[in-house]
Amino acid sequence: MLEHYMQQGSSFASQIDGLVWMIFLMTTFWFLLVEGILFWLLWRFRARPGHKAVYLDDHAEHAFEVKWIEIPHRVILLCDVAVIIGAITVWSEVKLSAPAPDEVVRVVAQQWAWTFTHAGRDGKLDTADDIVTIDELHVQVGKTYSYELGAKDVLHSFSIPVFRLKQDAIPGRVITGWFKPTIVGEFDVQCAEICGIGHGIMPARLYVETPEAHAAWIANPTHYLAYKF
Amino acid sequence: MAETHGHEAHGHDAHGHHEEGWFVKYFWSTDHKMIAKQYLLTGMLLGAVGAYFAYVFRMQLAFPNKPVPGYGLVTGADYNALVTNHGAIMIFWVAMPVLIAAFGNFLIPLMVGCDDMVFPRLNRLSYQIFLVSALVLAASFFVQGGAFGGAWTSYPPLSAKAEYSLTDLGPTLWLAAVALEFVAFLLGGINFVTTAMNSRAPGMKAFDIPMAVWMIVIASILFMCSVGPLVAGAVMLMFDQQVGTGFFDPDRGGDPVLWQHLFWFFGHPEVYVVLLPALGFVAEIITTFSRKRLFAYRTVLYTTIGTGVLSFFVWAHHQFIAGIDPRMANVFSVTTVLISIPIAEMTFVYIATLFGGSISFRVPMLWALAFIAEFLMGGVTGIFLGASGADIYFHDTYFVVAHFHYTFFPIAIIGTFAGLTYWFPKMFGRHMNETVNKVHFWITITCFNGIFLPLFVLGAAGDHRRIFDYGNFPELSQPWMQDLRVFATVSLLIMLAVQPLFLANFFYSMFKGRKAEANPWKANTLEWQCPSPPPHGNFSPLPEVYRGPYEYSAEGRADDFWPQNSPT
Amino acid sequence: MVRPIATTRSASGVPTGRLAVWWVLASEIVIFGGLLGSYLLHRLGHPEWATYASHTNTWAGAFNTFVLLTSSLSAVLAHQAAEQGNGKKAANLLLATCGGALIFLIVKSFEWTAEIQHGYTITANGFWSFYYIAAGLHGLHVIAGAIIMLIVAADARKGKDLQRVELIGIYWHFVDLVWIFLFPLLYIAK
């Protein structure tokens, strides 16, 4: 369902979308069922002359409770278990598993810009050929990346909707995570945690490139904002 | 029972009916009904302010960077301050004062059959502190740098340092206002709980207490047990802001995430604090207008308590991706999803109550049914956010916004309209015009869905919250998305446009409406067994209780209702 | 003001005043609980705070603990006297409790003065921030309790509202109890 609105751009995007789809089916079923019963009852038991409401004493009520409460209770519990299993499976894949990365990228958020440190030609961070860009992230399709996320001032959130990736950045901490781009293109990077008056002007662009294009960019990054620290 | 009934019968006269000056009567009164009206009108006034803020920022979203009529150009700072205070006002200064304080004050003494709250002066003090808190909040808009704009969750470091928020006094005043409001509600809550526990009419046992009273009492207890850590946190944050301590400052050994824990430990139970009173009103209304006994009274009570207890163990679902230990997310995902069970049961109980009834669609009933129908939407969409894996995508998108508006709008707006239209005859002794109210109902409900259904779609498309201009994000500024934003805004405009209809009806009927009899809805609970409006001292003599509150359509009786205080 | 009949009822069997005090304490417990919980989380994450804690004056803290415990005893005795209807004696014992509060605050002010002079101010580091906030919040409770006690004592002397002697006593035990938690956490744990 989500893929209709937002392409699936990472290895785990389809899993998240699958979980959403499952929850959507279940909740839609319950929603329609309950609303249906509600409106049917409203129609069926509307006040009419000569009709009197029934009176259920505690004993009569008890029989009804099995039908109205206990059975739905168990079915909901079953649905809940399914949702929980799905949620934990997806969560473990996205946030708990840490596949060995092909490359590490450093992301630092501040009011109101993103600084990305790419490993450069040697594939290692903190070497002379690191490429530092502002508000531009370049990755190669099919490679597994690990990110080191930090913040300089306030909370930010590193969100790439097309990857289904979102992680808050906290000053004073480095939070790691991973992603593996699966489609080539140019996408949004957004800040998803309010970070002051410039929160709405803190976009960055993500460029997922073919191996050739990515190599070309590494070879000639000069026309991008490049800094040496 | 400590006292004798003879004593009570005389005690009523002790109140006296001496003439009071208008100041004493309207501003210095200790009468629970007057304090209820003070809370109600203050809450409605602040509701208008919150609605105005919504109007301004929705206009900015639909028509970015064009001057908003009645406001002007909306800057990023304005936008943040507007959304922050819209949220804070609607929850702390509208939902709580109206649902808990106004209705709690009005209903508890009447429904349990006594003459006032147990601590009338504490009650007055509680309102006065609340009023001061509202004034402090208002003041925060007029200080250097403008009002606080760090979202109603007020996460540090943004809220802790002026160099980050670019507002100096705004955050501190905002925090002080919230803290004062908490104090007001702690005092009020003690009053509600003690009154309901101790001042019940003779004969009223635990299961004879009307659901509205139970719900307000449980809500007050939830509030008391959850707000403490946030009060402590607010003190710490205020010292960070103004004294220079570093409780939440990572550079100095502090921890910004700690605030999130303190905030949400309160913040999640707070949802139930405002939800429960609304559920209580719905229980009263659907039984009255379907002439049915409340189905499974005890199940409602136990699921309420279950929800309340469980709500203390779900807070971190607001923080799945906030940098907490990812393993913790699994635990909180389980507790969060499980909360669907008691809430669903409560919904089923309410719907089952309608079975076999004789349902008349009067205005309060329409609102109560709309509450069930709409709140269900809020409930099921919560599952998406409680499931940690799905929340990665939905967190801080408009899906969240739509979800909690489908819970809070039914609670704060639909619940209030249900309660107001139901108890209006008792409060003011007159009827509102029902036709006007029906028109108002249908337009409001339709527009409500018109505002928030598109936001689910926008959220699914990745639209993030709290961004004042989507022009900077190519994926979010596609024309079809902008069309949805315009649709939502237009729905809001229509909804706001019909509210004066209700207000006019409300104030006109207050003075000129058709006179109401004591029990216009033929209801059982005690508040309908005293005159409309209740005089000082409420009952004469004070009632005794012989049965539960929902004995409608009992067999072998000529009437289809059976007041709690009727001996036969 | 004439009290409403509501105030005189007792459907739960517990007198209304006592019930209310218990609810006040319930909400106070979570306030201090939140503060101390935050402190403990920080303390566990910062072993170096033990060194800062060693600069607190344990003897002053111990003396204050003793003072508060003694004042709680006189509050208990005041309650007993009030039960026997001896308002005058109850008032005097409450004054003794107030005396304890006064001594506590005087010791505290000397302590704080010395600490601030040594540069251990509220902004010095996280430990001292918690130290001043927690002890300060507790101190405010001591001051509030003492003021209420003076009012209750004045009424009790006239034989009025003797049940309040018990209520302020319950509150005072709570203030005492908070200190029993604060003392080891802030002074002893090193």
What is the ipTM, given to two decimal places? 0.94
In chain B, the residue whose alpha carbon lies closest to the alpha carbon of C134 is B232
Q: Is B77 within 8 Å of A34 when comparing Cβ atoms? A: no
> In sequence order, which residues have a C-beta less than 8 Å from that of residue C53 and are 6 or more positions away?
C127, C186, C187, C189, C190
Query: Of A140, A132, A106, nearest to A208 (Cα)?
Result: A140
Neighbours of B260 (CB within 10 A): 27
In chain C, the residue whose alpha carbon lies closest to the alpha carbon of B245 is C123
Chains B, A in contact, 3 or more Cβ pairs below 8 Å: yes
Q: Which two tokens stand for residue A175?
A: 């939070």
Contact assessment for residue B118 and residue B199, using Cβ atoms and an 8 Å cutoff = yes
Chain centre distance of CA B555? 37
SS3 B514: coil
- Give the confidence band of B19 by pLDDT, cuts at 50, 70, 90: low
Contact assessment for residue A146 and residue A98, using Cβ atoms and an 8 Å cutoff = yes
d(CA C17, CA B240): 37
Q: Residue with structure tokens 């919560």?
A: B382
Over residues B396-410, the pLDDT tens digits come to 999 999 999 999 999
d(CA A157, CA B85): 22
Q: Is B262 within 8 Å of C38 when comparing Cβ atoms? A: yes
Measure CA of the first residue to CA of the last residue in chain A; give whole Å: 44
d(CA B397, CA B416): 27
**Backbone phi, psi, residue A195, to 5°:** -135, 25
Residue B568 lies in a domain: no
Of A31, A47, A168, which has the smallest distance from its Cβ to B358's Cβ? A47
Alpha carbon dihedral B182, C182, C114, C106, in 10-degree steps, equals 80
Residues of C in contact with B11 (CB under 8 A): 5, 8
Of C23, C34, C42, which has the smallest distance from its Cβ to B255's Cβ? C42
Q: Is C11 within 8 Å of B200 when comparing Cβ atoms? A: yes
Give, as one character, the DSSP assignment of residue A126: S
Whether chain C has a CB inside 8 Å of the CB on B197: the answer is yes
d(CA A54, CA A52): 6
Over residues B251-266, the pLDDT tens digits come to 888 899 999 999 999 9
Q: Which two tokens stand for residue B133?
A: 């808190």
Residue B496 lies in a domain: yes
Of A19, A64, A170, which has the smallest distance from its Cβ to B352's Cβ? A64
- How many residues comprise chain A? 229
Whether chain A has a CB inside 8 Å of the CB on B337: the answer is yes
Residue B550 lies in a domain: no
- How many residues comprise chain C? 190
Contact assessment for residue A179 and residue A160, using Cβ atoms and an 8 Å cutoff = yes
Chain centre distance of CA C156? 21
Neighbouring chains to C with at least 3 Cβ pairs closer than 8 Å = B
Residues of C in contact with B262 (CB under 8 A): 34, 38
pLDDT at residue number A1: 80
Compute the radius of gyration of chain A from its Cα atoms.
Answer: 26
Dihedral class, residue A113 (left if φ above 0, else alpha if ψ from -120 to 50, else beta): beta
Over residues B327-348, the pLDDT tens digits come to 899 999 999 999 999 999 999 9
Over residues C89-113, the pLDDT tens digits come to 999 999 999 999 999 999 999 999 9
In chain A, the residue whose alpha carbon lies closest to the alpha carbon of B465 is A192
d(CA B275, CA B378): 12
Query: Of C100, C116, C104, nearest to C182 (Cα)?
Result: C104
- Please indicate whether residue B277 or residue A121 has the higher confidence score (pLDDT): B277
pLDDT at residue number B527: 94
Contact assessment for residue A52 and residue B560, using Cβ atoms and an 8 Å cutoff = yes
Q: Is A199 within 8 Å of B474 when comparing Cβ atoms? A: no
Q: Is B262 within 8 Å of C34 when comparing Cβ atoms? A: yes
Neighbouring chains to A with at least 3 Cβ pairs closer than 8 Å = B
d(CA B31, CA B35): 6
Q: Is C9 within 8 Å of B2 when comparing Cβ atoms? A: yes
Residue B544 lies in a domain: no
B229, amino acid identity: P
Determine the average pLDDT of the residues in B407-420: 96
Whether chain C has a CB inside 8 Å of the CB on B492: the answer is no
Blockwise average pLDDT, block size 10, chain A, 229 residues = 90 94 95 96 92 86 82 91 94 91 94 91 86 92 95 94 94 94 94 92 93 91 51
Of B151, B292, B383, which has the smallest distance from its Cβ to A83's Cβ? B383
Q: Is the dihedral of CA B68, B72, B75, B77 positive or negative?
A: negative
Q: Is B15 within 8 Å of C2 when comparing Cβ atoms? A: yes
CATH architecture of C16-188: Up-down Bundle (1.20)
Determine the average pLDDT of the residues in B187-198: 94
Query: Of B112, B235, B261, B118, nearest to B178 (Cα)?
Result: B235
Q: Is A168 within 8 Å of B476 when comparing Cβ atoms? A: no
Residue B21 buriedness (CB in 10 A; 0-12 / 13-18 / 19+): exposed
Whether chain B has a CB inside 8 Å of the CB on A141: the answer is no
Q: Is A47 within 8 Å of B333 when comparing Cβ atoms? A: no
Query: How far does A134 lie from chain B, in Å, by closest CA?
Result: 15
Contact assessment for residue B175 and residue B121, using Cβ atoms and an 8 Å cutoff = no
Q: Is B387 within 8 Å of A87 when comparing Cβ atoms? A: yes
Q: Best mutation site among B199, B223, B258, B538 for testing chain C: the one with the most C CBs within 10 Å?
A: B199
Q: Best mutation site among B401, B453, B464, B547 for testing chain A: the one with the most A CBs within 10 Å?
A: B464
In chain B, the residue whose alpha carbon lies closest to the alpha carbon of C23 is B190
Whole-number average pLDDT of chain B: 92
Whether chain B has a CB inside 8 Å of the CB on A208: the answer is no
Total structural domains in chain B? 1
Determine the average pLDDT of the residues in B198-227: 94
pLDDT at residue number B3: 38
Domain ranges across chain A:
2-96, 103-219
Per the structure, the complete domain to which residue B460 belongs is given by 29-529
Q: Is B189 within 8 Å of C42 when comparing Cβ atoms? A: no
> In sequence order, which residues have a C-beta less than 8 Å from that of residue B417 and are 6 or more positions away?
B367, B441, B444, B502
pLDDT at residue number A224: 53
Burial readout B108-139 (b: 16 or more C-beta within 10 A, e: otherwise): bbbbbbbbbbbbbebbbbbbebbbbbbebbbb
Residues of A in contact with B468 (CB under 8 A): 199-200
Over residues B70-111, the pLDDT tens digits come to 999 999 999 999 999 999 999 999 999 999 999 999 999 999
> In sequence order, which residues have a C-beta less than 8 Å from that of residue C139 and are 6 or more positions away?
C105, C108
Q: Between β-strands A204-209 and A136-140, what pairing exists: parallel, antiparallel or unpaired? A: parallel
d(CA B97, CA B105): 10
Of A88, A198, A202, which has the smallest distance from its Cβ to B333's Cβ? A88
Return the ∠ at Cα B271 (arms to B46 and B352), rounded to 5°: 110
Distances (CA, A) of B498 to B64, B419, B502: 25, 19, 7
In chain B, the residue whose alpha carbon lies closest to the alpha carbon of C122 is B245
Whether chain A has a CB inside 8 Å of the CB on B221: the answer is no
d(CA B446, CA C114): 67
Helical residues (DSSP H) of C46-86, grouped into ranges? 49-53, 58-83
Residue B405 lies in a domain: yes
Neighbours of C40 (CB within 10 A): 13
- Give the confidence band of B5 by pLDDT, cuts at 50, 70, 90: very low
The helix (H) or strand (E) run that includes residue B265 is helix B256-290
Residue B535 lies in a domain: no
Q: Between β-strands A185-191 and A204-209, what pairing exists: parallel, antiparallel or unpaired? A: antiparallel
Q: Is B158 within 8 Å of A190 when comparing Cβ atoms? A: no
Q: Is the dihedral of CA B103, B104, B110, B112 positive or negative?
A: positive
Residue B564 lies in a domain: no
Give, as one character, the DSSP assignment of residue C12: T
Query: How far does A54 lie from chain B, in Å, by closest CA?
Result: 6
pLDDT at residue number A222: 56
Helix, strand, coil % (nearest 5) of chain C? 80, 0, 20
pLDDT at residue number A63: 82
The segments of chain C whose pLDDT lies below 50 read none
Domain ranges across chain C:
16-188
Residues of C in contact with B13 (CB under 8 A): none
CATH 3.40.50.1220 fits domain A2-96:
no
**Backbone phi, psi, residue B311, to 5°:** -65, -15
Query: How far does B356 lie from chain A, in Å, by closest CA?
Result: 6
Q: What CATH code is carried by the domain that includes residue B281?
A: 1.20.210.10
Express as a percent the part of chain B with pLDDT over 90.
85
Chains B, C in contact, 3 or more Cβ pairs below 8 Å: yes
Contact assessment for residue B385 and residue B403, using Cβ atoms and an 8 Å cutoff = yes
Residue C178 buriedness (CB in 10 A; 0-12 / 13-18 / 19+): buried
3 state SS for A91-110: HHHHHHCCCCCCEEEEEEEE
Q: Is the dihedral of CA B243, B247, B248, B250 positive or negative?
A: positive
Query: Of B420, B424, B534, nearest to B114 (Cα)?
Result: B534
Q: Would you tell me which CATH number, out of the four given (1.10.3720.10, 2.102.10.10, 2.60.40.420, 3.30.70.260), belongs to the domain A103-219? A: 2.60.40.420
